[in-house]
């Protein structure tokens, strides 16, 4: 059985990609950003996922305004880096996992998530920058990556609740896949930033930190947050953070926060990053029958309660 | 043309790229998309006004593009990820465009970012309805979900609590017997 072992979220600022491509990572400005991901690379190297599912958004590269799918699952064997106006990024072609992707599509559509199946797609910085941050700059990406493109460009994006529930459906799909695979779900985008209009440059660290706290402990609170709240507090483009909720929905309710990093700025954006691990499940969870609470008759229950009180106070 | 009013119209300095703007700005965004190709970039640069005639643009939209009025482009339905391609054709970075839209020099803008960015204080709301963060504010549609529970528990406290569970157990056991 395949299973999701962890979720990792990270910003996907294009300028980070440009700094890597132009070998500027050692400049103090960029050093500050990249140093925050050293631990993450170590963690990734140890976690060694067999597959990553990367929740990201396209920035007018694969999808223009002609077709705008809300959720688009990459089911192809490979996804070349897109030319975003200055030539494709010099990063390896992203290899997909068509079998697992097809399985996920089949499962989540029957679970009433009407996503778009994409068999030909180029991927832009939204996907490749987080891969760089988590895997460095290898000649080949160390594992297959299934892209899940979410529309956060044309308002309205899917609600936080919908994103979270899609994560749930993806988890169910992964856990019903017969091959033993260790899967990591990546959420990308954010954190607070606004890159358009006279209010551009907005950063709200307080909001971002609360978001990270709630992502770990109380994601249901985030699920209810309306879009206008994201845009007002975290900037018009900060709404990308709903994608992190797909990642969170794919994890168990109780997770362990392994690592967190936050810095301002990278170009116009606050950079946030978090690693959440599923706690190991009890091996007997499915096998052992649930222990039934012993049923007592009302009189016996009152007697038992009295005995408990006596134990405490007596 | 009448624009529908939305809750996010209250956010200052922000043009949300919504369905209405997307419809209105289809020509602007398709023009920007065409700049992904080198030959189109060259054709545009050779004669901008002539090149723009291929696209369905209003006179205001054409003017905004020719004048590189990025805020006006957004207002007329352009989206920043698309208009950034026009910026790139002119050889400008994203940060240069951002500085332009805020009316500051790139240096001032970059310094503002280094100092932690633009504070949200004072730029939350045009109407002043939302002057401070209200993280606990609950949207109408979330009523009756999680937060309602403590209230229900409170209602059950005291005498009610003693009576209610009893009634429930009795009901259950009866149905079992039947």
pLDDT band of residue B142 (cuts 50, 70, 90) is very low
Report pLDDT for A309. Answer: 66
Residues of B in contact with A14 (CB under 8 A): 94
- Pick B139's closest partner by Cβ from A220, A224, A236: A224
Q: pLDDT tens across A256-280, in order?
A: 999 999 999 999 999 999 999 999 8
Contact A231 B8 (CB under 8 A): yes
Evaluate if residue B94 carries a pLDDT over 90: no
**A125 is annotated as an active-site residue:** yes
Which residue in A198, A220, A272 has the most chain B C-beta atoms within 10 A of its own C-beta, making it the best mutation to test that interface? Answer: A198
How close is the nearest chain B Cα to the Cα of A24, in Å?
Answer: 16
pLDDT band of residue A209 (cuts 50, 70, 90) is very high
Report pLDDT for A126. Answer: 97
How far apart are alpha carbons A155 and B22 in whole angstroms? 9
Match 């959440």 to its residue by tokens: A276
Angstrom distances, CA of residue B82 to CA of A85, A147, A188, A245, B31: 11, 22, 20, 26, 9
Evaluate if residue A284 carries a pLDDT over 70: no
* Residue A83: closest C-alpha in chain B: B36
Q: pLDDT tens across A73-130, in order?
A: 999 999 999 988 778 999 999 999 999 999 999 999 999 999 999 999 999 999 999 9
- Residue ranges of domains in chain B, CATH in brackets: 8-114 (1.10.700.10)
Residues of B in contact with A196 (CB under 8 A): 14-15, 74, 79-80, 98, 101
From A12, A103, A125, A273, active-site residue: A125
Contact A229 B137 (CB under 8 A): yes
Mean pLDDT of chain B: 82
Give the residue-averaged pLDDT of B68-73.
Answer: 98
Contact A268 B114 (CB under 8 A): no
A-B CB pairs within 8 A amount to: 154
Least confident piece of the model among A28-37, A92-101, B146-155: B146-155
How close is the nearest chain B Cα to the Cα of A153, in Å?
Answer: 7
Cis peptide bond upstream of A279, omega within 30: no
pLDDT band of residue A303 (cuts 50, 70, 90) is confident
- Pick A196's closest partner by Cβ from B95, B101, B169: B101
Report pLDDT for A307. Answer: 72
- Pick B29's closest partner by Cβ from A65, A199, A210: A65
Q: What is the ipTM of this complex?
A: 0.88
pLDDT band of residue A311 (cuts 50, 70, 90) is low
Least confident piece of the model among A6-10, A76-80, A300-304, B15-19: A300-304
pTM of the model: 0.84
- Residue ranges of domains in chain A, CATH in brackets: 3-313 (3.40.830.10)
Cβ atoms of A6 and A53 within 8 Å: the answer is: no
Which residue in B113, B164, B167 has the most chain A C-beta atoms within 10 A of its own C-beta, making it the best mutation to test that interface? Answer: B113
From A12, A97, A103, A193, active-site residue: A193
Contact A203 B117 (CB under 8 A): yes
Q: pLDDT tens across A154-193, in order?
A: 999 999 999 999 999 999 999 999 999 999 999 999 999 9
Evaluate if residue A296 carries a pLDDT over 70: no
Listed by number, the residues of chain B in 77-136 with a beta carbon closer than 8 Å to a beta carbon of chain A are: 79-82, 84-85, 88-89, 94-95, 97-98, 101-103, 109, 112-114, 116-120, 123-125, 130, 133, 135
Which residue in A59, A159, A193, A197 has the most chain B C-beta atoms within 10 A of its own C-beta, making it the best mutation to test that interface? Answer: A197
Contact A236 B14 (CB under 8 A): yes
Give the residue-averaged pLDDT of A200-204.
Answer: 98
Evaluate if residue A310 carries a pLDDT over 80: no
Residues of A in contact with B114 (CB under 8 A): 265
Evaluate if residue B170 carries a pLDDT over 60: no
Give the residue-averaged pLDDT of B62-66.
Answer: 98
């Amino acid at each position: 059985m395949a299973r999701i072992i962890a979720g990792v979220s990270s910003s996907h600022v294009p300028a980070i990609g440009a700094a890597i491509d132009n070998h500027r990572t050692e400049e103090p400005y960029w050093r500050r950003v990249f140093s925050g991901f050293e631990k993450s690379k170590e963690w990734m190297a140890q976690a060694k996922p067999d597959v990553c599912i990367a929740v990201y958004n396209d920035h007018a590269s694969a999808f223009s305004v002609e077709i705008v799918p809300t959720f688009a699952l990459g089911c192809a064997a490979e996804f070349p880096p897109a030319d975003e106006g200055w030539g494709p990024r010099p990063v390896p072609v992203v290899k997909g996992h068509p079998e697992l992707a097809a399985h996920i599509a089949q499962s989540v559509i029957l679970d009433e998530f009407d996503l778009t199946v994409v068999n030909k797609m180029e991927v832009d910085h939204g996907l490749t920058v987080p891969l760089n941050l988590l895997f460095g700059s290898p000649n080949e990406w160390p594992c297959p990556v299934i892209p899940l493109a979410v529309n956060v460009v044309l308002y309205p994006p899917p609600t936080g609740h919908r994103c979270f529930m899609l994560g749930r459906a993806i988890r169910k799909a992964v856990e019903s896949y017969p091959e033993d695979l260790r899967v990591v779900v990546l959420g990308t985008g954010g954190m607070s930033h606004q890159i358009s209009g006279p209010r551009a440059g907005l950063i709200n660290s307080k909001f971002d930190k609360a978001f990270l706290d709630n992502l770990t402990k109380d994601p249901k609170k985030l699920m209810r947050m309306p879009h206008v709240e994201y845009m007002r507090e975290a900037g018009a483009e900060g709404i990308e953070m709903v994608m992190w909720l797909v990642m969170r929905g794919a994890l168990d309710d109780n997770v362990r926060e392994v690592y967190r990093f936050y810095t301002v700025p990278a170009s116009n954006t606050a950079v946030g990053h978090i690693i959440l691990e599923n706690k190991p499940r009890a091996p007997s969870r499915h096998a052992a029958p649930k222990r039934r609470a012993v049923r007592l008759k009302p009189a016996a229950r009152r007697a038992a309660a009295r005995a408990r009180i006596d134990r405490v106070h007596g | 043309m009448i624009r529908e009013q939305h809750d996010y119209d209250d956010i200052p300095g922000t043009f949300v790229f919504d369905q209405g703007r997307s419809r209105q700005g289809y020509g602007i965004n398709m023009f920007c998309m065409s700049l992904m190709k080198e030959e189109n970039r060259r054709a545009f640069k050779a004669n901008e006004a002539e090149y723009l005639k291929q696209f369905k643009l209003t006179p205001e939209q054409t003017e905004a593009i020719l004048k590189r009025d990025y805020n006006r482009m957004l207002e007329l339905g352009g989206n920043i990820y698309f208009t950034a391609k026009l910026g790139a054709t002119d050889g400008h970075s994203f940060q240069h465009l951002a500085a332009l839209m805020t009316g500051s020099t790139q240096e001032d803008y970059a310094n503002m970012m280094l100092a932690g960015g633009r504070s949200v204080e004072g730029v939350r709301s045009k109407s002043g309805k939302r002057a401070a963060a209200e993280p606990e504010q609950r949207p109408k549609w979330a009523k009756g979900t999680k937060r309602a529970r403590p209230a229900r528990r409170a209602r059950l406290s005291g005498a009610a609590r003693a009576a209610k569970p009893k009634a429930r157990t009795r009901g259950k056991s009866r149905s079992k017997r039947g």
